[in-house]
Chain A
Amino acid sequence: MSESQSPTIARAESGPVSPEPQQRRRFTARSLLSGSVGRNLGLILALAALFVVGAITAGDRFTNIDNILVIVRLASIIGVISVGMTFVIIGGGIDLSVGSVMGLASVVATLSAVQALADNSTWLVMVFTALAVGLAAGFLNGFVIAYGKVVAFMATLAMLVAARGLAEILANRTTQVVRIPEFIEFMNMDLLGIDMLIWIFVLVAVAGWILLNRTTFGRRTVAIGGNREAARLAGLAVRRHTMYLYALAGLTAGIAAVMILGRTTAGTSTHGQLYELDAIAAVVVGGTLLVGGRGTITGTVFGVLIFATLTNVFTQNNLSTSVQAVAKGVIIVVAVLLQQRFAGQGSKSH
């Protein structure tokens, strides 16, 4: 403190600028950018931009209704898995195993159909087997994570490897063809001009939205993801609920297995490869925080649709899948960057 005795000196200065206009501007900016409506608005804009690009570059081939349905159908299987993934991530976890659990479920289900041969009702057995396999794998994940206290990343990575291996053993590295015409027929049926896969996706998404926003299950999920310790000390059954979250993700993998059986008419251990990454990408692009505590099903649905539309636009323009992959990567990074901006804005204001 050599030259002066006062490091900081007060001097009269004009008063603060009127807070009014600023207040209003901030409010609008915030509600536009970080509100739940706002975040989805950004996704809607992104999707709309993709549509414009598609319409300009591919014209009628892109904009006709059949192509739109192709896009949604493309999105449907990943979409169903992503709904389950949304719950796991909001709850503060991650599930890397959904893709291979889906493959395992498809193999076991087709095998069960062969065993229960020549009965007209066997396709129901097949469907329930697929769901049960998914659910069981999910419960196992959840049990190891919640009660064994294994980090979710490692527990589900183990499941990813093991389920794929088990599927290969069971399938004996061959493709199990589904020989039940009723099932194939049902799964490829149109209802009001929209095919079954899309209906299933819509159903799962709506059910997921209700579960997250309107039920105690959803409230627990957000609470546990937001502050695990506070949830525990408030008397919530944190471990049990954590297990349920992974079971739910497993169940959606089972549903996805049924869908892919209907579309490809075959069960194989290679079904669902890398689906977990597509699902995680869709969830994150949809605005769900990877640290948990915040996220929406609507956002996830948009995330899935954005990726499916992107794929379609590229395919329509005869661009290679490698270019697609690069574009996907860019979108993910941009989405996460934007997300962090908004998250920063939210937490700064205390």
Chain B
Amino acid sequence: MSGISKNFSGVQALKNVDLEIVAGEVHCILGQNGAGKSTLIKTLAGAHVPDSGTIEWNGEQVSLHSPQDAIELGIATMYQELDVVDGLTISENIFLGHELSMGGFLRAGEANERTRRLLERLGHGDLPPSREVGTLSAANKQIVSMARALSHDTRLIIMDEPSAVLDGEEVKNLFRVVRELTNAGIAVVYITHRLEEIREIGDRITVLKDGRSTANGLDVSETPTSELIRRMTGREVENVFPPATPIPDDAPQALEVDGLSLEGVFHDVGFTVRAGEIVGLAGLVGSGRSEILETIYGARRATSGTVRANGRELRRGSVRDAVRAGIGLSPEERKSQGLLLDEPIFRNVTLSSFARFARGGFVDERRERRIAAEQIDALELRPADPDRPARTLSGGNQQKILLARWLVNRTSVLLLDEPTRGVDVGARAEIYALIRELAANGDAVVVVSSEIEEVLGLADTVLVVGDGRILTTVKSDQIDEHQVLDLVMKGTSA
């Protein structure tokens, strides 16, 4: 691809970007959110048509007008949002859109057989082709997605943050599969936020910043990390995690969880968070960490146990009661659980509090806009326009909207589920600093993250969760990543 440019509604997403991919290589695309990574790969996948520039495939100039064009050339894409249909079986998903049929009748047997072979090739021969995809874990759904990409005669696979939903072991399997693909001469375009993954799997790197390529085809083994970060952010990022501020001795208990259980998910979870303290929950996907947050928040009804916020006991299963008591949740799935994507920033910021700003049932939009603008300034939310639809913002800025929502609502206990998922390295440091600042101002914070490093770096106290139980509670400076992993593994196998 060369000289690719793309405009969206007056915003230039790509400016003259070049990208060259060689057969059999893993080509990493690195860039902050909003840098144009997604737009670039969608252009390559035929989902967007560039406004200018050319794409050459095997030396011939091609134009991709639809995803079908790209697939026919042998370009397959695994999108970040898992694009599988829950209600269909694995093999139906894999052959979706190019069903094997004879005279209009599906050849299910043949499809199942080929599915089995594809899954085997991916090291997952244990998955039955006729299983419904809705019953699979996120990691296995991704395997299905990859099998679908391979079901065509594929020469190039684009993977958009494939590791975002995976844990350690699954990432290793992913890498193994990627290596097998490249050994077979297939090129892989790999998009990620995690620099350490690039080190492990990547051959060459293209770095995007603000829709321009700041580096083309750098050799991974010869480029130091600091240079990548500099090219990505335009500045040096040294200390990602801000220093912790000591919690005053007389800080009151802001959140007290006692004997909380949700049948079949977790049992007897108890911990306390003081004002100004950050507690981190570390554990694998499926360990129950997100469910614990949601149950504290009342989004799920606990089967037993109590939650007290600022001394007041909360009604079980009532989000409204939790919000009234000063708790706020930033959910794991920002887009589907947190935001009104087509509504402007300011209405998203005041979603929990607009009734308070209203007078006699009439909303006061001018005041809401002003208050949202204050938060935009304070959190450095970009673009700084209260009327921009939330959809157009990057992951980091969407996360800031959710933080702003609870700040406006004068929340004193913040529950953050994967606050940096889909947020790039530069913006992560900002989010970390914000969370620290909130704690320093006396908020109690509970953070859940699948990145152990994040939990350790951010939290004062770490709870290691495994198999629906709290395995251990420890000060974050008295444990390291390996010890946490050890605990988690033991807890899950026990």
Task: Report how many A-B pairs have Cβ atoms within 8 Å.
Answer: 166
Q: Does A233 contact B (CB under 8 A)?
A: yes
Residues in B with CB closer than 8 Å to A9 are: 2, 20, 56, 59
- Pick the contact of A237: B186, B299, B320, B339 (CB < 8 A): B320
A100 and B319 alpha carbons, distance in the complex (Å):
36
Residues in B with CB closer than 8 Å to A148 are: none
Count of residues in B whose CB is under 8 Å from the partner chain: 65
Report B144-175 residues with CB < 8 Å from chain A CB: 155-156
**Known contacts A6-B22, A233-B337, A349-B8; A13 and B53 CB within 8 A of each other:** yes
Shortest beta-carbon distance, A147 to chain B, in Å? 14
Residues in B with CB closer than 8 Å to A5 are: 22-23
Q: Interface code A225-248, partner B: CB below 8 Å = 1, 0 otherwise? A: 011011111111100000000000
Q: Does B382 contact A (CB under 8 A)?
A: no
Shortest beta-carbon distance, B380 to chain A, in Å? 21
Shortest beta-carbon distance, B203 to chain A, in Å? 13
Q: Does B269 contact A (CB under 8 A)?
A: no
Say whether B55 contacts A8, CB under 8 Å: yes
Report the stretch among A126-134, A155-163, A213-221 that lies at the interface. Answer: A213-221
Residues in B with CB closer than 8 Å to A341 are: none
A223 and B259 alpha carbons, distance in the complex (Å):
35
Count of residues in A whose CB is under 8 Å from the partner chain: 49
**Known contacts A230-B351, A349-B8; A7 and B340 CB within 8 A of each other:** no
A176 and B90 alpha carbons, distance in the complex (Å):
61
Say whether B9 contacts A30, CB under 8 Å: yes
Say whether B52 contacts A16, CB under 8 Å: yes
Report A163-198 residues with CB < 8 Å from chain B CB: none
Report B67-116 residues with CB < 8 Å from chain A CB: 74
A88 and B347 alpha carbons, distance in the complex (Å):
20
**Known contacts A14-B3, A234-B405; A294 and B342 CB within 8 A of each other:** yes
A215 and B354 alpha carbons, distance in the complex (Å):
10
Report the stretch among A20-28, A44-52, A114-122, A321-329 that lies at the interface. Answer: A20-28
**Known contacts A1-B185, A8-B21, A16-B5; A350 and B391 CB within 8 A of each other:** yes
A347 and B21 alpha carbons, distance in the complex (Å):
30
Shortest beta-carbon distance, B71 to chain A, in Å? 14
Residues in A with CB closer than 8 Å to B9 are: 26-27, 30, 349
Q: Chain B residue with minimal CB distance to A232?
A: B319
Q: Interface code B16-35, partner A: CB below 8 Å = 1, 0 otherwise? A: 10111111100000000000
Q: Chain A residue with minimal CB distance to B350?
A: A219
Q: Does B323 contact A (CB under 8 A)?
A: yes
Say whether B342 contacts A219, CB under 8 Å: no
Residue with the highest number of chain B CB atoms closer than 10 Å, among A19, A231, A235: A235
- Pick the contact of B340: A4, A230, A232 (CB < 8 A): A230
A-B contact pairs, 7 of them (CB 8 A): A4-B23, A6-B59, A10-B19, A16-B51, A23-B7, A24-B10, A235-B322
- Besides the known contacts A9-B2, A216-B361, A234-B323, 19 further A-B residue pairs in the complex with CB atoms under 8 A apart: A1-B155, A6-B58, A7-B57, A9-B20, A12-B3, A13-B53, A19-B12, A23-B10, A26-B10, A27-B9, A27-B10, A222-B340, A223-B340, A226-B341, A227-B339, A235-B324, A236-B352, A293-B342, A350-B8
| A contact set with B: CB distance below 8 Å | 1, 3-17, 19, 22-24, 26-27, 30, 214-219, 222-223, 226-227, 229-237, 293-294, 346-350
